[in-house]
Structure formats: structure tokens, C-alpha cells
A and B are shown apart, each in its own frame.
Chain A
């Protein structure tokens, strides 16, 4: 599924062992131990909800668990904070409206 949004991708300063996660049906290879928010930023994808009011794509803003802009459906559970959740092999991540 094409994503209408792209952010200039972040880069990782370390090489770490990788795991696979699924984002909106596509497989992403990401360093283990990092947050879901960091994993998506690394791929130039905005970790965040779509606003229930107006539908605008939001993106992780504070990255310390305060702003709830990065809430996503993770392993089927909505409203999980991508910045506070560590990636795990086989994890599924989807955008939510919220």
C-alpha cells in the first residue's frame, strides 16, 4: 500500500542486530532494542496517529511518552505509544485514527 507521506529518513549511528516488523503490511528490517517510533523514523515513515478531527497525519512530537501523537495499533491493540514500545520480531504496527 503506498503511503502518501514521507519524512527524510533518520540514520542510525550504530549497527545492531536486526529484527523484522510489519508496518501496514510491509516488512521493515529494524535494529533490535529500539522503539517502534525510532524504527519508523529510520525508514522515513511518520510514527503517529491520524487525527480523528480532520484526518491529518501526525507524528511523534515529544518522544518521552507525554504527547500521545505516536499512538498506533501495535499487535492489534490500539492507542499504544510507539515511542514507549520496544520493537519485537514479528510485531505488527498499523496507523490508527484517534
Chain B
């Protein structure tokens, strides 16, 4: 099977990847844009290419339509392709993708990872019941399939997305029974010194105030300082119970949407063995990059939320900067030309970072949403490993997360720790008092998605075998 060769492979068709594709084209690079969704736009602009009426969800989505159209002209676009493995083959990265039930391969001299973020999970009794979803998931159904739940819906957690989803549901006449806000009250005091800087720098805060006003106007009950959430039901969710202050409440609902912030999607960075660092401000693991998005792994760049949460407004700027840096490395443009191209992007990013600092402080997740309190709660949904099981291992001094994985199977299921990783890390840290670095994070192993064995058999490759798999040099 022949492999298409490119200068640059951009993985992820969200705002960072789309902007990177256009910039790469402007720099004279021949690039491929690989994305696992049927259409471009990523998560934030999901469904942008099939939307009939772009006015429904705001002006930024209209701008994103242009971004997607430009990217299609600028790069070879492989939609519906999930990256399952990447290996280095001499001077090229060989990227294996699964398209339907078929394996394909592409190769490129530079790699730009723009896979965005994933939602942090909140684990509580009943969170595996049908009818409990992430707020981002509910929004994806609205944006893509144009589906809304019948309601009543309860939203629980913390962060701007929670308010946004509530308002979007109300706009489509979905009854929102309540918002359960888990934001620690103390966060507000800590965030205040950063408020002034944030007000002048980005749009999330201003929009957030608008959303809150809209919810208050529509008299949606908002419970503050919520903890001890549990989904009740037999077969699927029927109600949610929780504590607000000293009182215990019970609300009937058909859907519980949870959101406690987002984390960089580090699956590909981990696969190609980029160095990660613990970012205490999120808190979570983040790839180490320089200001151009260049990682510790030669030839690999990361842009957008995958390189550390910066938000959708910052992502195109980060995509352009990383694509330009890749073009400079490949000798397509001179370094000073590269600097000139991204001057405005850097300026805009400096402003947006001030707002991010405020949001990170205000919505810093409380320990009781990061660590499941009840021993019976499943941390790992795939392999049904409970918080109690992890605590028992911690008590026996087994607290390095890959060691825990080998013994308990936590993180060994189909999701490969994407959902349970942060929960397991926090549970082990909490139980032992060890640092994030001592507990570590799951090593990423290919294939990143289940691949039918027949697909491997059919992938009779004429390509030379890869020179070497990445060496796993991390000492955890």
C-alpha cells in the first residue's frame, strides 16, 4: 500500500488545526489535516460544515465556517480518520489511521498535534447510569445532530460551559430543573485580584455574565456550594440527590449533565513520548512546549488546548504560530519572516492569557469533585474498578499509577484511561499524600482505538518497516 507523503501532518480539525492548515499553506507547505469526525470544526465548532442556519449559535460559528472552508482549500483533508499509531520512519512520521474498518497510512516530515481538550469527569454514585452525560456531550448532540433531551435536565459542576449549555437548552424549550454549582465559594475571593485584567482581555467572562443574567431572568434554581451528588434510578436516571450547605435535596430528572472543566487531550503527546509536566493551575498533565508549541520530541509541535488549556479564542492563534514554526524548521520560510507572520497572534495571546488566569482560579475544581468520596464509586468505568480498590492498593503502598494499572486493570479498558486517568491520579494522590509526579500518569500504548484484526491483515504494507518505535524514556 502506498503512503502519501506530506511536509506537515496536522491532527485535529478544530480551531487550532484549521488555522494551522491555512498558515501552513501560506508558508508553502504541503500538509494533510487528519480528523476523526465526519466534518471539520472540532468539538467547539462541531457540525459547522453541515449546519443549515449558522446564525443559530452565534457569530463565532460563522467565522469558523470560513476557517473550515479555507482549511479545505489549504490542505488534503482526511475526515473520519482516527489516528491509531504514529511511528518514526527515518525523517518521516508514519501515521496510521483507521477509516471505517480500514487502516490507512500517511507520512509527514513534521507533526502538529491539535487534538484539543477533553472533559474532566466527576465520579459519584450512579454516574454510570444511562442518562448521566457530560455537558459537552449534550452540547455535541445539539450542535451536530440537532438533538435536545426531553427534560427535565439537571446540570451539575462548575465552569462556563455549564452555564452555556443550560442557556442553549432553555432556548430550545428544554426544561432545566436546576444548576448544581460545585464551585468552591473560596475560589471567588482568590479570583478577584485577576478580575480587572480578565475584563479587558477576552470574551468568555463577558459572555459568562450574560449567561448568568439569562438564567436568573428565567428563574432557573441555582444551588451553590453543592457536594455529595448522587444519581438515583434503576436502569436509568430518575432523580439526583445532593447537599447544598447542610440541606439534602432531591430533584427528579431525565438527564444529568455534568461538567467540571477541561483537560488537555494528551493521548497523542503521550504516544509519541513528548515530555509532560504537572500544571497545578488546571490541575492536570500538560505537554512541555516552548512558545511556538515545539515539544521535547524532535519535529513534533502541539497547538491549541492540547498544549495546555487556552480556550477556543486562543486556539487559532496558537495553531498559526506552531504551523509557522514548523515551516521555519523545514526551511520553507526564513525565521524573521516567521516572526513577522505571527506578531499579531502573539499579541492577542498575551491578552487572552490574562483572562485564562482568572477563569482557572475561579473554576479550580474542589478536591471533592476531583476525588470520588464514596469507596463504592467506580473510577474506571471500562474495567469496573472502584475508588475503594484504588485506596486499598494505596494503603498497601502501591500508588504509582502504571503499577496500579497492572494490578487492578484500572485504565486498561477500551478508553485506555482517557476518562479514569485524572480521577485515578487524584484518588491516589489524596490517599497517599504523594505528589502528582510520584503518582505519574498512564503510559499511552497503540493502537489508540480498537482496530479489527482483519484491518491489520488487509494492511499489507509495501512501506519499509518503521525504523524504531519511540523509546519510552520517562522514568515513571
A positions within 8 Å CB-CB of B: 4-14, 31, 33-35, 38-39, 41-42, 46, 48, 51, 53-54, 56-69, 71, 77, 79, 81, 83-84, 86, 98
Contact = CB atoms under 8 A, between A and B. Distances in A.
Interface residues of B, number: 49
Nearest to A4: B235
Q: What DSSP secondary structure best describes chain A's contact surface?
A: loop
B300 to A, nearest CB: 21
A53 B129 CA distance: 15
B267 to A, nearest CB: 9
B96 to A, nearest CB: 17
A28 to B, nearest CB: 14
B365 interface: no
Interface stretch (B145-153, B212-220, B241-249, B461-469): B145-153
B236 A46 contact: yes
28 contacts: A4-B235, A8-B255, A10-B149, A11-B147, A12-B145, A34-B145, A34-B147, A35-B144, A38-B147, A41-B141, A46-B130, A46-B236, A48-B130, A54-B384, A58-B128, A59-B129, A59-B132, A60-B133, A62-B119, A62-B134, A62-B419, A64-B118, A66-B415, A68-B415, A69-B381, A71-B450, A83-B140, A84-B82
A-B interface, 6 closest residue pairs, ranked by CB to CB distance from nearest: A59-B130, A63-B137, A38-B145, A68-B414, A34-B145, A79-B450
Nearest to A69: B381
A64 B137 contact: yes
B144 A34 contact: yes
B381 A6 contact: no
A58 B146 CA distance: 23
B235 A5 contact: yes
B457 to A, nearest CB: 14
Given A7-B131, A84-B82, A64 B136 contact: yes
A75 to B, nearest CB: 8
B43 interface: yes
Which of A61, A68, A77, A98: most chain B CB closer than 10 A?
A61
A68 B172 contact: no
